[in-house]
Amino acid sequence: MRTIGIIPARFASSRFPGKPLALIGDKSMLRRVYERVRLSGVNEVIIATDDKRIANHAESFGAKIIMTSVKHNTGTERIEEAYRKLKKEYDIVINIQGDEPFIDPAHIRLLIKSFQQSDIDICTLADEFDSQNTLESSNSIKVVTDCKNNALYFSRAVIPFQRDTEKSQWLTTYNYLKHIGVYAFRSEVLTKVVKLKPAEIEKAESLEQLRWIYSGYNIRVLKVKYYGVSVDTPDDLEKANNILNEIYF
């Protein structure tokens, strides 16, 4: 299978403006994501952005850039435009969020391998929660799956709710899954999902993957152990720098 990794990156984040350029150690977050994806062995890696500051920085470390519209509402729309502009055919398109500086190359390879199963439209990753505070945070996305590990629902709320157990004990009685922000699509599926209209459940949760589930696409969830951090806020950036002091890439 021919594979491409696309990293959507925008400057205008409401919670953390300019975060792709924020430094983790001596490298920008965007560069760390790019270098990790390169290690996965995908056939090509590109950065999709609508901002010249990001484009100029990415070009400074040798990344291939595709400029995209400023009007996109989601990263998926951005990577689909970049894929079209590339004018090359790939079997699998992987959307690696630009705020995952410690994404594991082995996990990307695992995503690619999963598409040997013909019933998978989209594939993503999840890890078990190990902190009650993180579990209760609306920034930490929870996912529940069926018996085939297909996603039933994603939520900012804690799901499932345990009616007969004290909240402080929930992690000891149920393996809650935290979504990790990376998606792999069959290329023909990617071109279809960006044409879907937003669903009400998506609007309620502000989670675009709910649109895909609502429209009948399956999302296979692979359970992995993830030691990184998604950088959504300046506090998360501090955590990322602390992790860098503990592990070496």
State the Cα–Cα distance between residues 196 and 85, nearest whole angstrom: 20
d(CA 4, CA 204): 31
Q: Write down the pLDDT at residue 201.
A: 97
Which bin fits 135, alpha (ψ -120 to 50), beta or left (φ > 0)? alpha
Tell me: pLDDT of 246 over 80. no
pLDDT, residue 247, reads: 60
Taking only the tens place, the pLDDT of each residue in 225-245 is 988 788 878 888 888 888 877
Overall number of domains in the chain? 1
Instruction: Report the pLDDT value the prediction gives residue 236, as an integer from 0 to 100.
Output: 83
Q: Is a pLDDT exceeding 70 seen at residue 25? A: yes
pLDDT, tens digit, 9 for 90 and up, residues 145-180: 999 999 999 999 999 999 999 999 999 999 999 999
Alpha-carbon distance 247 to 219, whole Å? 31
* H or E element in which residue 22 lies: none
Element (H, E) at 98: none
Q: Which residues contact 44 (CB under 8 A, 6 or more apart)?
A: 3, 4, 5, 64, 88, 90
Share of the chain above pLDDT 90, in %: 82
Q: What is the mean pLDDT of residues 100-125?
A: 96
Which pLDDT value is given to residue 179?
A: 96
Q: What is the dihedral of CA 2, 194, 79, 150, to 10 degrees?
A: -60
- Residues 35-57: tens digit of each pLDDT: 999 999 999 999 999 999 999 99
CA 233 – CA 185 distance, rounded (Å): 27
Mean pLDDT value across residues 79-92:
96
Residue 21 sits in a domain whose CATH number is: 3.90.550.10
With contact defined as beta carbons under 8 Å apart, do 207 and 156 qualify?
yes
Domain enclosing residue 149, as ranges: 3-246
Does 249 score more than 60 pLDDT?
no
Give per-residue pLDDT as tens, 136-145: 999 899 999 9
The predicted structure's pLDDT at residue 219 = 98
Cα 167 to Cα 49: distance, rounded to the nearest angstrom: 41
pLDDT per residue as tens digits for the range 187-211? 999 999 999 999 999 999 999 999 9
Helix 52-60 × helix 29-38 angle, to 10°: 50
Find residue 5's DSSP bridge partners. Answer: 45, 94
Single-letter amino acid, residue 236: D
Q: Tell whether the model's pLDDT for residue 248 goes beyond 60.
A: no
Q: How far apart are CA 99 and CA 127, in angstroms?
A: 17
Place 14 in a pLDDT band, splitting at 50, 70 and 90: low
Instruction: Please determine, for residue 20, whether its predicted confidence score (pLDDT) is greater than 70.
Output: yes
Q: Which amino acid is at 205?
A: E
Interatomic CA distance for residues 37 and 31, integer angstroms: 10
Whole-angstrom distance between the N-terminal and C-terminal Cα of the chain?
27
